[in-house]
Structure 1
């Protein structure tokens, strides 16, 4: 039996949160979340991640909401964190995409550790050109990876997982 471990506990306890209270997200908490993202592993330590923070009173929230079928979640969040890859800093498309996933997970776990909730809005990348245009970011420079909706949870998340044996190609 595994002893209690704060990292393993956070991995098991973190859930996607799609409803948020009206309480603001403290700037120091937001900074800690962004800082966790920059500490994600990246191939050759190239750190190609770039972040854009959009608060709920920013007109760009409505513009982003129009780019996804999950617009109601984007509008409910107190903060949206857009995570991009800087194409000028990339060296391996696959490794950099994997790194962006690690960056996103770091941010979500950091938010959870601070009592905040997040949900990964991935479907929005299907409208990447529209998003970049609305945010006035050059498509030849930035590649949208994810938009994180962030705030104080107004719901309990839930999830279930298959048994570990269902993932294994061989017994270990």
Structure 2
């Protein structure tokens, strides 16, 4: 059952799930532009916008990239991949830039959800970053941060759980539990 928040944005955040199975329907150019625009509007320190995106739709390239991860089936089954990079040439603080890229990725995942698309954030593929960079022929100034697999989700129920706020939040100092 969907979780209900107080606004459309909150509802999208609470209802987004990682999707690992996709139909064959291609993702349209308009949908891709919406996803990329959501990413580029993420906050970044000094507004340096350190992210760079490589859009992958060609099936042969998708198949090559699927061999760079234990999640071969997920990648091979996606009609769209977006490789997310840190532009080290534009970086001013590696930690803050990585955080900004995390925000960009979250924005893109939420945009996918809002568009009725499914997506999953793949980090394990970073273990093969040199191979990925070679396949995508990208500049050595780009540091791979993640690959997003995106497409129309295969219809099925997707559920998730979260720890209670009382397990995660403390008031004033560590040890004093948050009480709703």
TM-score interval for Structure 1 and Structure 2 normalised by the shorter chain: over 0.9
Q: For structure 2, which runs of at least 5 residues remain unmatched after alignment?
A: 172-177
Shift >2 Å, 4+ stretches: 169-172
1:20-169 equivalent positions in 2, closer than 5 A: 20-55=22-57, 57-139=58-140, 141-154=141-154, 155-169=156-170
Q: CA RMSD in A?
A: 1.4
- Which TM-score applies when normalising by structure 1? 0.93
Residue 19 of structure 2 is matched in structure 1 by 17
* 1:88–1:6 Cα change, 3 Å: same
Determine if contact 2:5/2:14 at 8 Å carries over to the other structure: no
RCO higher in 1 or 2 (8 Å CA, sep ≥ 6)?
1
* Partner Cα separation in structure 2 for residue 74 and residue 115 of structure 1: 19
Q: For structure 1, which runs of at least 5 residues remain unmatched after alignment?
A: none
Helix, strand or coil: the match of 1:146?
strand
Determine if contact 2:82/2:149 at 8 Å carries over to the other structure: yes
The count of aligned residue pairs is: 169
Determine if contact 1:17/1:156 at 8 Å carries over to the other structure: no
1:118-160 superposed Cα distances (whole Å, 9 cap, x missing partner): 0001111111112112211233x00001100000010332211
* 1:13–1:3 Cα change, 3 Å: closer
- Which TM-score applies when normalising by structure 2? 0.89
Aligned-residue offset at 1:3 = 6.2
1:11-50 superposed Cα distances (whole Å, 9 cap, x missing partner): 1100000001111212111100000000001110000111
